[in-house]
Structure 1
Amino acid sequence: MDWITSPAAWSQFALLAVAYVAARMLAGRMQPAIRRVLAPEAGAVGLVARVRRAGLLVLPLLLPLLAYALTAAGESVTRATFGSGEVIAFGKRVFLFLAARTLVREVLPDGFLKLLGRFVLIPVAALYTLGVLDDITAWLDETVIALGNIRFSALALIRGLIAGALLFWLGAWSNRQSTGYIKAREELRPATRELAIKAAEVAIFGAAFLLLMSIMGIDLTAVAVLGGALGVGIGLGLQQIAANFVSGIILLLEGQTTVGDYVELDGGEKGTIVKMTARACVLETFDGKWIVVPNEHFITTRVTNYSDQGSANRYEALFSVSYETDINRVPEIIEAAVAALPFVLKSPDGPDCELKGFGESSVDFSVEYWVAGIDDGKNKYGSPVLFAIWNALKAAEIEMPYPHRVVELRTAANA
């Protein structure tokens, strides 16, 4: 009772009350002004607008942080005046706990960060408020966990779990941001973008792993030994996976095949490349099927690349006429008919009808034509060209022959 009624005690209680009331008054006056300054214009986008919106989200922290700051100032006054300040120091820790609680409940978005705040930040803040955090930390540091020859403290394990979860969450977020930024760089070739995305991913998660090892106090020389052992394992037991991985890097560096190209492999697989991964390329056929082709096949076998849908490609259509036809008329008729088709290009060259040879029952011709794209099943150029050839020959009364055979019948009397 003597201590409670002493100036040292009631001054601390009074300073706590004054700090809280002053914090509420200051927060009430500052929040509208801060909102007017930070609120971006409606529909505004960009980095500045995002930063200003983020600033608005943390406004609920203004009251407990102001109370914490004012209480800290009051603590310095009471300790200088009376030599003690345990009450006001406890109040200061309470305001810090309220700030952590507000951060988790009102500021952090739903998901990993809110979960981490609820089960890590708030319990740690509560222990700090009660003044037992240092004692529990020392006890955990003295508790040793042994796994074979590896020994580490319980504190290092808990710190590693928390830091690992946070680091890899930050790594995943950074990877998404870098991927979106790189994909938006349209001036880069698709292969270069894919290579940059994979390089950024490896760098981000590699740095997160090394930082985690450092936080947990694990000697990085052990990681070097582990990397050497892993390299030997890849060389001996994972040769095919390593070959596909290296082949994928070569494909991305060379850029000779990339996403969007229509390719045909020696094995008969053909389709449009829709995805390139570290292990394989995914081809989409014209009928919607996906074919997963290991990257090594693109390096060790012959690949026909028809380039993308906007490139010019030449195709050939074969046909025949009868021997009774004036074949000198045929090229002009067919070239005019094919050139009239809307998808046939005049550059780099217009339709070209050529005499191919003399068959058993017909004179054989072919017409070559250029189109802006590929005949991959979805874009069918061959069928309209053959229709145009048929209609042109019929209009010119030119016969398209069929095989003729002479059959000799021998009867018993003739024999």
Structure 2
Amino acid sequence: MNILPDNLDSLPPLAQSVLTYAQQGIDLAESWLLSPAAWSQFALLVIAFLAARLVARRSSPMFTRVVSPVAEATGLFAEARRFLVSLLPLALPLLAYLFTAAGESVTRSLFGSGAVIAFGKRIFLLFAVRAFTRDFLKDPFLRVMGKYVLMPVMLLYIFGLLDPVAAKLSETVVGAGNIRFSLMSVIRGVIAGALLFWLGRWSTGQSRSYISRQEELRPATRELATKAAEVLIFGAGFLLLMNIMGINLSTLAVLGGAIGVGIGFGLQQIASNFISGVILLLEGQATVGDYVELDGGEAGTIVKMTARAAILETYDGKWIVVPNEHFITTRVVNYSDSGSANRYEAPFSVSYETDINLVPGIIEAAVAELDFVLTEPDGPDCELRGFGDSGVDFCVEFWVNGIDDGRNKFTPQVLFAIWNALKAHDIEIPYPHRVVEIKGVGQGLAALSRVESL
């Protein structure tokens, strides 16, 4: 059967290539259908598939029972055993591939050819790749890469088009200005860059998790180690990507000089913030978990420190991005983290008719009964602060763990304790009194009485 037209040379090159490959496929199919050797290879493919299915069905339950660890098992060995069990969906196509490879060696020795069984072997390999993409890859990014990159490559490999397509892509050159790349290098760089970026992100997540569990290190040291690991991982990935794309690393010297000039003229603030972040991590003046207040009025708990800025979370849940440079060049009040002791005050007043010598003992005893009030470095201390317009002013000082913020609210509970203690001892809490004197009232009454007498 011939599908090639007589005027093939007048058609576009792409149409000529498609028709030529289609004619080759038709010729190959006709030769297979008319060849006894091809039919014997089809039979071997069916036998290999049935044998693989039988072996997989019989061995999978036993393999699962022997290899699977107990549910509560942890550690590297247990994870490796779970990984092996997760590969069971690949058992059937891989066994069929192995049995077909054995059958291919037999047919080549008997008939001198094995094109049909070799094609079937590649089909079984495609099924294995499909099962790997569908059942094994759980990460969304890897699943997309398997679906849109690995599967098309396997299809080209099955039909013998992988090498011609790769050669055509290598011959096609694209570029901008003096920079020239083959289309194959661009595609390889995009795929490799995406995989390296995913691997770098996964590696930094694992390293961050591991470093955060090292409780013997200071928080600032852990944060610095995390940033250093991130820079090393992505730096190594960048150099590897340049090598994959065939870019000479010596050309990076020119790029480094250009970046240096850019930093000198336009990126001074970014460079300053980056260096300030490194200084903060090294010195530990402020780290994640600290409650800080800056001269500019920004106040909150540091929830994240990046290479450029620190992120503060306020009492009402808002996030404030503060450049790292502000922590170096301005005054910063650090109230330390939530596990440190801080002192607060609760002011109140009593009536002038109160025996003020009894007030300190009553209030200190009442505040000391609160479970969040500390005895170290000092217990509650009630002090006389002054004599006000309406009453005698006192203030009780107390120490607590953490910050008196919207989540803790220590001071309101202390004020409740003061109110209840004063009421229990019949001590009056004063409110403002005003004495109004009206001048001239006596003269007005005398004049009114003379008028009435007339």
TM-score (norm 1): 0.81
Within 5 Å, give how 1:211-290 maps onto structure 2.
211-290=240-319
Q: Counterpart amino acid of 1:91?
A: G
Q: Counterpart amino acid of 1:291?
A: I
Q: Secondary structure of 2:256's match?
A: helix
8 A contact 1:320–1:401 mirrored in 2: no
* Structure 2: distance between partners of 1:53 and 1:12: 37
Q: Could you tell me which residue of structure 1 aligns to residue 198 of structure 2?
A: 169
* Residue 308 (str. 1) matches residue 337 (str. 2): yes
Q: Could you tell me which residue of structure 2 aligns to residue 207 of structure 1?
A: 236
Q: Could you tell me which residue of structure 2 aligns to residue 149 of structure 1?
A: 178
Deviation, structure 1 residue 69: 2.1
User: 1:382–1:13: structure 2 CA closer, same or farther, 3 Å change rule?
Assistant: closer
Deviation, structure 1 residue 90: 2.8
Q: Secondary structure of 2:227's match?
A: helix
Deviation, structure 1 residue 50: 3.7
8 A contact 2:373–2:400 mirrored in 1: yes
* Structure 1: distance between partners of 2:254 and 2:123: 48
Deviation, structure 1 residue 252: 2.2
Q: Secondary structure of 1:151's match?
A: strand
Provide the alpha-carbon RMSD of the alignment. Answer: 4.0
Q: Secondary structure of 1:376's match?
A: coil
Q: Could you tell me which residue of structure 2 aligns to residue 114 of structure 1?
A: 143
Q: 1:344 aligns with which of 357, 370, 373?
A: 373
* Structure 2: distance between partners of 1:108 and 1:29: 25
1:26-78: per-residue Cα shift (whole Å, max 9, x none)? 33332232222233434555544443333233223222222322333333344
8 A contact 2:350–2:427 mirrored in 1: no
* Residue 60 (str. 1) matches residue 60 (str. 2): no
Q: Counterpart amino acid of 2:299?
A: K
More deviation in 397-406 or 140-149? 397-406
* Structure 1: distance between partners of 2:130 and 2:388: 90
Q: Secondary structure of 2:301's match?
A: strand
Q: Counterpart amino acid of 1:155?
A: M
Deviation, structure 1 residue 398: 8.8
* Structure 2: distance between partners of 1:363 and 1:14: 106
Q: How many residues align?
A: 412
Q: Counterpart amino acid of 1:144?
A: V
Q: Secondary structure of 1:200's match?
A: helix
* Structure 1: distance between partners of 2:165 and 2:213: 49
1:111-132: per-residue Cα shift (whole Å, max 9, x none)? 2223222222222222222222
Q: Aligned residues: percent identity?
A: 68
Deviation, structure 1 residue 217: 0.7
1:346-390: per-residue Cα shift (whole Å, max 9, x none)? 222233455667899998765543333333354444455566667
* Structure 2: distance between partners of 1:61 and 1:341: 63
* Structure 1: distance between partners of 2:117 and 2:429: 108
1:256-306: per-residue Cα shift (whole Å, max 9, x none)? 322222222222322222232222222233333333322222112222222
Q: Counterpart amino acid of 1:63?
A: L
More deviation in 239-248 or 308-317? 308-317
8 A contact 2:351–2:391 mirrored in 1: yes
8 A contact 1:361–1:404 mirrored in 2: no
Q: Secondary structure of 2:336's match?
A: coil
Structure with more contact order per residue of length (Cα contacts < 8 Å, sep ≥ 6):
1
Within 5 Å, give how 1:9-408 maps onto structure 2.
12-13=41-42, 15-42=44-71, 44-80=73-109, 83-109=112-138, 111-316=140-345, 332=361, 335-336=364-365, 338-353=367-382, 367-383=396-412, 385=414, 395=425
User: 1:116–1:287: structure 2 CA closer, same or farther, 3 Å change rule?
Assistant: closer
Deviation, structure 1 residue 215: 1.0
8 A contact 1:325–1:399 mirrored in 2: no
More deviation in 235-244 or 34-43? 34-43
Q: Counterpart amino acid of 1:266?
A: D
* Structure 2: distance between partners of 1:153 and 1:288: 51
Deviation, structure 1 residue 237: 0.9
Give 5+ residue unaligned stretches, structure 1.
none
Deviation, structure 1 residue 139: 2.0
User: 1:362–1:187: structure 2 CA closer, same or farther, 3 Å change rule?
Assistant: same
Q: Counterpart amino acid of 2:300?
A: G
8 A contact 1:321–1:401 mirrored in 2: no
* Structure 1: distance between partners of 2:369 and 2:45: 91
Q: Secondary structure of 1:145's match?
A: strand
Q: Secondary structure of 2:310's match?
A: strand
* Structure 2: distance between partners of 1:377 and 1:63: 60
User: 1:267–1:128: structure 2 CA closer, same or farther, 3 Å change rule?
Assistant: closer
8 A contact 1:140–1:154 mirrored in 2: yes
Q: Secondary structure of 1:227's match?
A: helix
1:157-180: per-residue Cα shift (whole Å, max 9, x none)? 121122222222222233333333
Q: Could you tell me which residue of structure 1 aligns to residue 19 of structure 2?
A: none
Q: Secondary structure of 2:307's match?
A: coil
Give 5+ residue unaligned stretches, structure 2.
1-29, 444-454
8 A contact 1:245–1:279 mirrored in 2: yes
Q: Counterpart amino acid of 1:348?
A: P
8 A contact 1:356–1:365 mirrored in 2: yes
1:173-230: per-residue Cα shift (whole Å, max 9, x none)? 3333333333344444333333333333323222222212111111122233223322
